[in-house]
Amino acid sequence: MSAALEVRDLGFELPGKGEGGRGRRLVEGVSFTVGKGETLVLLGRSGSGKTTTLKLINRLLEPTAGEVLVAGQRASDLDATRLRRRIGYVIQEIGLFPHFAVERNIGLVPSLEGWPPARIADRVREMLALVGLDADTFGARYPHELSGGQRQRVGVARALAADPPLLLLDEPFGALDPITRVELQREFRALESRLGKGMVFVTHDVREGLLLGTRIGLMHEGRLVFVGTPEEFRQSEHPEVRAFMAAA
Amino acid sequence: MSLLAFYARNSQEVVGLLWQHVYLVLISTGVAILIGVPLGIALTRRPGWRGPVLGLANIFQTIPSLALFGFLIPLPFLGGIGARTAIVALVLYALLPIVRNTYTGIAGVDPAVREAGRGMGMTDGQLLRLVELPLGLGVILAGVRVATVIGVGTATIAAAIGAGGLGVYIFRGVATVDNTLILAGALPAALMAIAADGLLGVAERRLGWRRT
C-alpha cells in the first residue's frame, strides 16, 4: 500500500540571477513520507520554507527539483487542477468564499467534480456534523455571519468534503484567539485518529506541533533539518530544535 | 412659448429624438461592455498590458468630444456622418470606466479567497466565473453606471454630426437663441442621466456582493 504522500528531494529555486547565475533557493533537498493516519507537522521560523513546501505539494508552485507522489501517483503526471481536487487544503486566512453560503463552500470540490446534487447535500451535512456544526443552523449562513472558530471549522469541512487521501493545513488555527485555538486543536486531534488521512500541518507554534503531530519535521533555511516523533524532538540535541524547545 | 406647449405641439418629434438618444446610449454602452469587460479581465491576466491599455483609454477620455466627432468624420468604415460615427465615439468614451472598473473589481478580490479557489482545484475559467466576477460585479457595474451617465451627456453632442438625439433641440436652440428649445433638449437628457444613474445604482446594490 502506498503512502498518502511521498516527497523526494524536493527543491524550489526562484527564477532570476543570484550568485553563480542561480536564483535564490527557498526549499532544498526536502524528503519525507506521510502514511495514512499520520500527521507530519512542519515546524519552522517564518521564511524557513514551510508554506513553500506545502505549495510545492499541490503545485501552487512548480518544484524545480525532486518529485512528489500523492497516494502513489506522481503529482507532475497529473493535471494540476485534478491533483488539487484530491488534496484538501486549509489556509490560515481560511479563504471561504464570502458570496457562497456555508453549504456551497463545503460542497465546492464535489460540485467541481460533478457529483449529483443529492449526494453533495448529504456529504455537506455529514461534514458539518464531523466538525461539530449543526447543519440546519449553519448550512444556509454566510461566512461573515460566523465566528472565527466556526469559519475555521467550515474550512476544515470544506477541505475534507471530496474525501481526499491527503490534507495540507497551513497554520489553520493561527488567527484564532487562544481559547478557541486550544478548543479546535483538541477537536482536531480527535479528528486525526478518526479520519485516517495523511496530513501535513504547518505551524510555528511548538506546542501545537507537539500536540498534533505524529511526527515533527523541523525546517530551517529551506532544509528539513530534523524529522522525528514528538518524543525524539524533545530529546534532540540539534541546535535549531533546542532553540524551539526553549521557546515553548 | 412654454416648454409644455412646445412638447404638446411637437410630441411626435420629441418621442423620435428621445428614442434616438436612448438608442445611441444603449448601443454604445452595450458595445463598450462587450469590449471593455473582456479587456479588463485580460488586464488582470497580463499585468504588463495594464499601463498601455489604460493609458490609451485615458487619452481617448481627454479628447474633447466635439473634436473626437470631428476627427472621426473623414475615417473610412468607422466615420462619416450619422449615428455610426457617434456610436464609435461614444464607445471610446465609455471604455475607460468599464475597463478600469473591471480590472479594479477583479484585482480587488481577497488574495486568500483566490488562493483557496486555486488550491481547491478550480481552473482559471472556474475561478473567474465562480469567484472573481461575482465578487467584482459591484465594482464593474459601478463602471457601467459611470459610462452610461457620461454617454447620455455626450450623446447630446452627437447631433452635431447628424446622429440625432436630444442634442438636436439644444443645437437648434443655441443657433436661434431660444432658451425654451435648449431646455426642451437639455431637460429630458438630464432626467435620462438621473434615471440611468438611479436604475444602475439599484442593480449595483442588488447584484454586487458587499461585506455586510
pLDDT digits over A206-217, tens only? 999 999 999 999
pLDDT digits (tens, 9 = 90+) for B16-51: 999 999 999 999 999 999 999 999 999 999 988 999
**Ordered DSSP codes for A123-153:** HHHHHHHHTT--HHHHTT--GGGS-HHHHHH
pLDDT (0 to 100) of residue B165: 92
Question: In this structure, what DSSP letter does residue B159 have?
Answer: G
A84 burial via Cβ count (<10 Å: 0-12, 13-18, 19+): buried
Question: What is the phi-psi region of residue B132: left when phi exceeds 0, alpha when psi lies from -120 to 50, beta otherwise?
Answer: alpha
Q: Is the pLDDT of residue B210 over 70?
A: no
Going by C-alpha positions, the residue among B80, B78, B66, B95 that lies closest to residue B156 is B66
pLDDT (0 to 100) of residue B212: 43
Dihedral (CA of A218, A220, A222, A226) sign: negative
Give B81 or A164, the one with higher predicted confidence: A164
pLDDT digits (tens, 9 = 90+) for A23-40: 788 999 899 999 998 999
pLDDT (0 to 100) of residue A95: 84
Give the confidence band of A113 by pLDDT, cuts at 50, 70, 90. Answer: very high
pLDDT digits (tens, 9 = 90+) for B93-146: 999 999 999 999 999 999 989 999 999 999 999 999 999 999 999 999 999 999
Task: Determine whether the interchain pair A98/B209 forms a contact, defined as Cβ–Cβ distance below 8 Å.
Answer: yes
Q: How far is CA B88 from the centre of its chain?
A: 11
Question: Taking CA atoms, what residue in A is nearest to B208?
Answer: A99
pLDDT (0 to 100) of residue B61: 84
Q: Is the pLDDT of residue B211 over 70?
A: no
Q: Is the pLDDT of residue A117 over 60?
A: yes
Cβ-Cβ contacts under 8 Å for B38 (sequence gap 6 or more): none
Mean pLDDT of B68-88: 84
Q: Give the N- to C-terminal CA distance of chain A in Å, as an integer.
A: 37
Instruction: Give yes or no for a contact between A10 and A53, defined as CB atoms under 8 angstroms apart.
Output: yes
Question: In this structure, what DSSP letter does residue B132 have?
Answer: I
Residue of B112, B120, B123 lying closest to A93 (CB–CB):
B112
pLDDT digits (tens, 9 = 90+) for A223-248: 999 999 999 999 988 998 898 888 87
Cβ-Cβ contacts under 8 Å for A145 (sequence gap 6 or more): none
Give the confidence band of B208 by pLDDT, cuts at 50, 70, 90. Answer: confident
pLDDT digits (tens, 9 = 90+) for A167-184: 999 998 888 888 888 988
Range B185-189, long-range pairs (CB < 8 A, 24+ positions): B185/B17, B185/B156, B186/B156, B187/B3, B188/B14, B188/B18, B188/B21, B189/B21, B189/B152, B189/B153, B189/B155, B189/B156
Give the confidence band of A88 by pLDDT, cuts at 50, 70, 90. Answer: very high
Residue of B120, B135, B209 lying closest to A109 (CB–CB):
B120
The CA distance from A109 to A104, in Å, is 10
Residue of B113, B123, B211 lying closest to A97 (CB–CB):
B113
Task: Determine whether the interchain pair B211/A98 forms a contact, defined as Cβ–Cβ distance below 8 Å.
Answer: yes
* Integer angstrom CA distances of residue B158 from A106, A154, B87: 53, 56, 9
Residue type, B142: A
Q: Which helix (H) or strand (E) holds A182?
A: helix A178-195
**Ordered DSSP codes for A78-102:** S-HHHHHHTEEEEETT----TTS-H
Cell of A67: 518529485
Q: How far is CA A23 from the centre of its chain?
A: 27
Going by C-alpha positions, the residue among A226, A89, A228, A106 that lies closest to residue A157 is A106
3-state secondary structure of A119: helix
Going by C-alpha positions, the residue among A29, A13, A66 that lies closest to residue A217 is A29
The label of the residue with cell 504547518 reads: A202
The CA distance from A161 to A110, in Å, is 7
Task: Determine whether the interchain pair B112/A83 forms a contact, defined as Cβ–Cβ distance below 8 Å.
Answer: no
Task: Determine whether the interchain pair B115/A91 forms a contact, defined as Cβ–Cβ distance below 8 Å.
Answer: yes
Question: Taking CA atoms, what residue in B is nearest to A79?
Answer: B121
Task: Determine whether the interchain pair A91/B131 forms a contact, defined as Cβ–Cβ distance below 8 Å.
Answer: no
Residue A228, strand partner residues: A216
The CA distance from A139 to A124, in Å, is 8
**Which range (A235-244, B6-15, B66-75, B185-194) has the least confidence?**
B66-75
Q: Burial letters for A90-105: b for 16+ Cβ neighbours within 10 Å, e otherwise?
A: bbbbbbbbbbbbbbbb
Q: Is the pLDDT of residue A1 over 70?
A: no
